[in-house]
C-alpha cells in the first residue's frame, strides 16, 4: 500500500552512518545488521537519534553495486571515528511516499515515486557519468519496522528523493 506522494522543503539534517558498498540483491542481508552497530556507537557516546533508522542510497553502477549509508539522523553534526561517519542530508526540496508492507516489495514504492515525480514535471537530483548514477538524496526511513512490529504487512517506510532545484 502506498500513501499519496508529497513534496516538502527540509533543512539540512545531520546524521551518523556506516558506509557500505553492496550489490542491490544483497541489501537485505548486509545492511540491516549495521543498524544496531550504529545505535550501539551512539549509545556509547551518549548521542540521541533525532529520528528513525534509514538506508541512504548514494550511487549505483551498471553491475548493480550500490554505495550506501546506514544510520540515524542526529541533533547536531558529529565527527564519528572511522567506521562511524558523520554527514548530513542537504537542505532542499524532497518528494516522498510512504510504503506499507514487506520490504521485499518496496521497489514498487520507489517506482511509484519516480513515476509521480516525472508526471509532476519535476526531476530527482542525479548525475550520471561512465555508468555510475549518483543520487543527491535517495533514502528509506523505517517508520515501523521489524523491531517494533512483527507483522510485515504493517511495516512502514518513507521513501524520499531529493529534487533538483
> What's the pLDDT tens digit per position in 70-107?
999 999 999 999 999 999 999 999 999 999 999 999 99
Q: Is residue 1 part of a domain?
A: no
What mean pLDDT is reported for the chain?
95
C-alpha closest to that of 89 among 58, 52, 113, 115: 58
What is the domain-level CATH number for residue 37? 3.20.80.10
Cα distance between residue 103 and residue 157, in whole Å: 8
How long is the chain?
165
Q: Is the dihedral of CA 35, 152, 29, 70 positive or negative?
A: negative
Q: Is residue 100 part of a domain?
A: yes
- Domain region containing 28: 6-162
Q: Is the dihedral of CA 101, 105, 108, 111 positive or negative?
A: positive
Cα distance between residue 8 and residue 162, in whole Å: 10
Question: Does residue 165 surpass a pLDDT of 90?
Answer: no
Question: Does residue 146 surpass a pLDDT of 90?
Answer: no
pLDDT of residue 147: 83
Give the global pTM.
0.95
Amino acid at each position: 500500500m502506498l500513501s499519496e506522494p508529497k513534496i516538502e522543503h527540509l533543512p539540512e539534517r545531520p546524521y551518523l552512518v556506516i558506509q557500505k558498498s553492496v550489490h542491490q540483491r544483497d541489501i537485505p542481508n548486509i545492511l540491516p545488521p549495521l543498524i544496531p552497530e550504529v545505535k550501539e556507537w551512539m549509545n556509547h557516546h551518549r548521542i540521541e537519534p533525532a529520528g528513525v533508522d534509514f538506508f541512504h542510497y548514494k550511487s549505483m553502477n551498471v553491475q548493480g553495486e550500490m554505495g550506501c549509508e546506514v544510520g540515524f539522523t542526529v541533533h547536531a553534526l558529529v565527527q564519528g571515528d572511522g567506521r562511524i561517519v558523520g554527514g548530513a542530508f542537504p537542505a532542499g526540496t524532497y518528494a516522498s511516499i510512504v510504503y506499507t508492507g514487506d520490504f521485499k516489495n518496496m521497489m514498487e514504492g520507489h517506482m511509484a515515486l519516480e513515476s509521480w515525480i516525472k508526471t509532476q514535471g519535476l526531476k530527482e537530483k542525479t548525475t550520471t557519468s561512465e555508468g555510475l548514477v549518483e543520487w543527491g538524496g535517495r533514502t528509506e526511513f523505517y517508520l515501523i519496522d521489524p523491531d517494533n512490529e512483527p507483522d510485515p504487512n504493517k511495516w512502514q517506510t518513507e521513501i524520499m528523493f531529493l529534487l533538483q532545484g
